[in-house]
C-alpha cells in the first residue's frame, strides 16, 4: 500500500544537490534519435548509485519530485524545439501517494518551461517492489490521461516479470541489459527476447533494448524485432548535454534498416 503519511507528502530536505545526464534512445526504422533518458548524476560527477544512497525513506517523495522538475528544466534548454524527442524520466511508484496530486509539480514545470507533455515518458522499474497493484494501476491511468508515455524499466530483472506485464500494459518495456548482454552468443537469450518481441506485438507495446554495447548485440536484437535501442555503443550519457550518436552506430543502423 502506498505510504500516505504527511511526512512523505511534504518530504524532508535533501541536503545535497544533483543534476542529470542524458543518453539517446535510437529508433531504427527511421534512423532517428527517438528520445533521451535523464539519468541522475552528482554535481561533482558522482554516479546514480551514490546519489540514490543518500536518499532516506523520508526523502523519497521530495527526491522523486525534484528529479522530475530537474529533468524537464534541462530538457527544455537542450532539446530541439521542433519534433521534440521523448524525455524519459524514472519515477518511484511507492513515492507517489496520490497520482493526480503528485503530478502538480511535473505539470507546472512543463508549462513553465514550454515543454510538451506528450514528449514526456515515465519509467517505473521492475526492481522496485510494488506493494499495491491497484495503486500502480491508478498511477498509470492518470499518467496516460495527461498524455504521458508509460514504460516498465529493467524488464526481466525484477520481482514480477511477466506477471507484472499481465496486470499492466504500458506503452513500452525496456529489456534489462542482462538479457541484452552477449545475446548474439546465447540461444537462451535469443529465444527469450524473440518471445517477448512477439508478446509486445500482440499487445501493441514498443520494445526497447537498453545497455547495448556492440554491433553484434544490436544486429541480433534488430533481427528479433526490437526497434528502439539505448546503450554505450550508440553514445554514453553526457551531463547536462546531448551526446552525438556514434558514426559507427549510425552506419550499422542504416545498413540494418
| 131: DSSP letter | S
pLDDT of residue 6: 43
183 pLDDT exceeds 50? yes
More confident residue, 82 or 230: 230
Residue 145 domain flag: yes
Residue numbers of the domain that contains 136? 6-256
Angle between helices 215-224 and 187-203 (to 10 degrees): 40
**Over the stretch 51-98, which tens digit does the pLDDT of each residue have?**
999 988 888 888 989 999 999 999 999 999 889 999 999 887 666 667
**H/E/C letters for each residue in 8-54?**
HHHCCCCCCCEEEEEEEEEECCCCEEEEEEEEEEECCCCCHHHHHCC
What percentage of residues in the chain have a pLDDT greater than 90? 58
Residue 241 domain flag: yes
**Over the stretch 124-174, which tens digit does the pLDDT of each residue have?**
865 555 566 777 788 888 888 899 999 988 887 765 568 778 888 889 999
Place of cell 506493494: 131
DSSP string, 51-103: HHTT--GGGHHHHHHHHHHHHHHHHHHHS-STTPPEEEEEE-GGG-SSTTGGG
Residue 245 domain flag: yes
CATH number at residue 175: 3.20.20.450
Angle between helices 60-78 and 104-113 (to 10 degrees): 20
pLDDT of residue 178: 92
Length of the chain (residues): 257
Q: Looking at residues 37-64, what average pLDDT do you find?
A: 91
Beta carbons of 87 and 46 less than 8 angstroms apart: no
Please give the Cα distance from 152 to 201 (Å, whole number): 16
Residue 157 domain flag: yes
Total domain count, the chain: 1
The residues, ordered by sequence, that sit 6+ positions from 110 with a Cβ below 8 Å of its Cβ are: 72, 116, 117, 120
Give the sign of the dihedral formed by CA 159, CA 165, CA 167, CA 168: positive
- Please state, as a whole number, how many other Cβ atoms lie within 10 Å of the Cβ of residue 17: 11
Residue 1 domain flag: no
CA angle 157/181/167 to nearest 5° reads 30
Residue 113 domain flag: yes
Half-sphere exposure of 112 (CA within 13 A, CB side): 11
Tell me which H or E stretch contains 231.
Answer: none
Amino acid at each position: 500500500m502506498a505510504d500516505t503519511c504527511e511526512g512523505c507528502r511534504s518530504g524532508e530536505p535533501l541536503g545535497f544537490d544533483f543534476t542529470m545526464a542524458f543518453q539517446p534512445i535510437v529508433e531504427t526504422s527511421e534512423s532517428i534519435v527517438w528520445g533521451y533518458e535523464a539519468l541522475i548524476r552528482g554535481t561533482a560527477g558522482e554516479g546514480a548509485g551514490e546519489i540514490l544512497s543518500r536518499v532516506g525513506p523520508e526523502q523519497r517523495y521530495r527526491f522523486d519530485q525534484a528529479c522530475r522538475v530537474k529533468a524537464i528544466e534541462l530538457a527544455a534548454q537542450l532539446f530541439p524545439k521542433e519534433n521534440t524527442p521523448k524525455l524519459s524520466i524514472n519515477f518511484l511508484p511507492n513515492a507517489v501517494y496520490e497520482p493526480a496530486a503528485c503530478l502538480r509539480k511535473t505539470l507546472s514545470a512543463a508549462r513553465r518551461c514550454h515543454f510538451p507533455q506528450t514528449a514526456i515518458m515515465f519509467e517505473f522499474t521492475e526492481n522496485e517492489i510494488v506493494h499495491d497493484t491497484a495503486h500502480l494501476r491508478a498511477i498509470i491511468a492518470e499518467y496516460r490521461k495527461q498524455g504521458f508515455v508509460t514504460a516498465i524499466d529493467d524488464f526481466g530483472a525484477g520481482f514480477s516479470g511477466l506477471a507484472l506485464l499481465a496486470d499492466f500494459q504500458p506503452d513500452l518495456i525496456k529489456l534489462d541489459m542482462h538479457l541484452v548482454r552477449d545475446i548474439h552468443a546465447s540461444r537462451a537469450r535469443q529465444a527469450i527476447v524473440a518471445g517477448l518481441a512477439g508478446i509486445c506485438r500482440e499487445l501493441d507495446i514498443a520494445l526497447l533494448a537498453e545497455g547495448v554495447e556492440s554491433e553484434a548485440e544490436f544486429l541480433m536484437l534488430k533481427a528479433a524485432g526490437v526497434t528502439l535501442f539505448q546503450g554505450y555503443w550508440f553514445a554514453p550519457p553526457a551531463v547536462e548535454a546531448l551526446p552525438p550518436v556514434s558514426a559507427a552506430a549510425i552506419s550499422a543502423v542504416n545498413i540494418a534498416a
